[in-house]
Amino acid sequence: MNVEGTHYRTIWLNDDGWSVDLIDQRWLPHEFRVENVRTVDGIATAIRDMWVRGAPLIGVSAAYGVAIRMREDPSDAALDAVWRDLHATRPTAINLRWALDEMSNLLCPLPEAERAAAAYARAARIANEDVDLNRSIGRHGLEIIRKIASTKKPGEPVNILTHCNAGWLATVDYGTATAPIYLAMEQDIPVHVYVDETRPRNQGAHLTAWEMAGHGVPHTLIVDNAGGHLMQRGKVDMVIVGTDRTTARGDVCNKIGTYLKALAAEDNGVPFYVALPSPTIDWTVQDGVKEIPIEERSGDEVSLVWGRNADGRVEQVRISPDATPAGNPAFDVTPARLVTGLITERGVTEASAQGLADLFPDRAKAAA
Ligand code: MRU
């Protein structure tokens, strides 16, 4: 997507042909910084400390991490170690394991001399495929927005609520939940987006709001607790969120707070859609509440808040007493029964084992 007139992806190969440049998202919306990463440790830090974040982008970053390691040392031992080290960076988004498995399944049978080149080529393909998947998600999601626009809101904006950032910053480009919104804008279908701030890290306030402003999408930032109220007043026509891991039966794990939005949507008859590329489906698990590991992050993310002060400097301030401990579960699980539909690259389906198996029979069968 464009940043002040220049097209960017979130991650790309540096002109040197081997190191990786990425947008360091910790500074947005206040500063736009690009970092050059040259080591696997650097990639691991970028994922763990959330310079890059969002399930698809975490996967692509890890793929490039494997490529960097293979250039240094293409041995089996190095391949095993890089898989383990990168896999340990963040536990919830399944795209990380998916991308590492893709890399290792490709590289293992190859002679060592061929591994680095093959790894860079596969990492680039995973990145390009992500863009294609998101465009397809956009096309399918657009039809839902178009239908609401023509049947319920002729001549008025369709009000869409989203949580966290499942935008282009969470992927390589376009985003998942935002792809239908960007396409609706292109097609002059009026939309307005309610952006949940998404405590504690404020991915909505920092990142989704920045994306919406940058692309001229009418939007309003709201506190996380406002969604239910807005739904009761008929101010939300649909919810679209992303996901970090969706189970084979359609349970959706996403940023903490998503579940509460789904409950409020159900209570108010507001359609609740989840946009996801197929690498986000974990075919090995069924019950998301019992089986998905939920990342517990530092309590500092709850107690300390980043912002820009009156002098224009970006700094952190404490919002709770020094002695108060904070808990920080980073994700929650929305049961399939609360999900109106899953918007995938192959189309929209109900959130159920049958729905997913109908769209992806090959993968459902392989996992059975
Ligand atoms: O902790 P984050 O910022 O990596 O969490 C991101 C989300 O929860 C997104 O909604 C999800 O990864 C989908 S991104 C297309």
Q: Are residues 154 and 180 in the same domain?
A: yes
The band of 313, judged by pLDDT with boundaries at 50, 70 and 90, is: very high
DSSP secondary-structure letter at 273?
E
Query: How many C-beta atoms surround the C-beta of residue 269 within 10 A?
Result: 8
Measuring from atom 8 of ligand 1, which residue has the nearest CA?
255
CATH of residue 51's domain is 1.20.120.420
Domain of 61 in residue numbering reads as 2-129
Give pLDDT, residue 318.
98
Q: Is pLDDT at 37 greater than 90 in this prediction?
A: yes
Query: What is the C-alpha separation between 271 and 99, in angstroms, rounded?
Result: 31
Q: Are residues 237 and 271 in the same domain?
A: yes
333-358 tens-digit pLDDT:
999 999 999 999 999 999 999 999 99
**In the β-sheet with 252-255, what is the strand arrangement from edge to edge?**
281-282, 245-247, 252-255, 331-334
Interval 119-142 mean pLDDT: 98
96-126 tens-digit pLDDT:
999 999 999 999 999 999 999 999 999 999 9
195 forms beta bridges with 162, 221
For the entire predicted model, the pTM comes to 0.97
Q: Are residues 173 and 301 in the same domain?
A: yes
142-185 tens-digit pLDDT:
999 999 999 999 999 999 999 999 999 999 999 999 999 999 99
Q: Is pLDDT at 62 greater than 90 in this prediction?
A: yes
Query: What is the C-alpha separation between 219 and 232, in angstroms, rounded?
Result: 19
Q: Is pLDDT at 86 greater than 90 in this prediction?
A: yes
Placement of tokens 């992303």 in the chain: 242
Q: Is pLDDT at 220 greater than 90 in this prediction?
A: yes
The two tokens of residue 254 are 């996403």
Please identify, among 129, 157, 173, the residue that sits at the C-terminal boundary of a domain: 129
Q: Are residues 13 and 113 in the same domain?
A: yes
- Residue 29: alpha-carbon gap to chain centroid: 17
Q: Is pLDDT at 365 greater than 90 in this prediction?
A: no
Q: Are residues 314 and 185 in the same domain?
A: yes
Q: Do residues 160 and 240 touch, judged by C-beta distance below 8 A?
A: yes
Averaged pLDDT of the chain = 98
Q: Is 330 in the pocket of ligand 1 (CB under 6 A)?
A: yes
Query: What is the C-alpha separation between 38 and 69, in angstroms, rounded?
Result: 10
Query: What is the C-alpha separation between 133 and 121, in angstroms, rounded?
Result: 18
Interval 197-209 mean pLDDT: 98
Q: What percent of the chain has pLDDT over 90?
A: 99
Q: Is pLDDT at 31 greater than 90 in this prediction?
A: yes
Q: Is pLDDT at 250 greater than 90 in this prediction?
A: yes
> Of residues 244, 251, 282, 332, which has the active-site annotation?
244
Q: Do residues 348 and 276 touch, judged by C-beta distance below 8 A?
A: no
161 forms beta bridges with 194, 239
CATH of residue 188's domain is 3.40.50.10470
Query: Which of 137, 171, 243, 259 best tests ligand 1's pocket when mutated (most atoms within 8 Å of CB)?
Result: 243
Q: Are residues 145 and 281 in the same domain?
A: yes
Q: Are residues 327 and 272 in the same domain?
A: yes
Alpha-carbon separation of residue 56 from 60, 167, 274, 334 (angstroms)? 6, 11, 14, 19
264-292 tens-digit pLDDT:
999 999 999 999 999 999 999 999 999 99
Alpha-carbon separation of residue 296 from 72, 95, 335, 362 (angstroms)? 33, 18, 20, 34
Count: domains in the chain? 2
Q: Is pLDDT at 368 greater than 90 in this prediction?
A: no
Placement of tokens 């101010």 in the chain: 235
Give pLDDT, residue 145.
98
Q: Are residues 232 and 355 in the same domain?
A: yes
285-302 tens-digit pLDDT:
999 999 999 999 999 999
> Is 101 assigned a catalytic role?
no
Q: How far is the CA of 166 from the centre of ligand 1 (A)?
A: 6
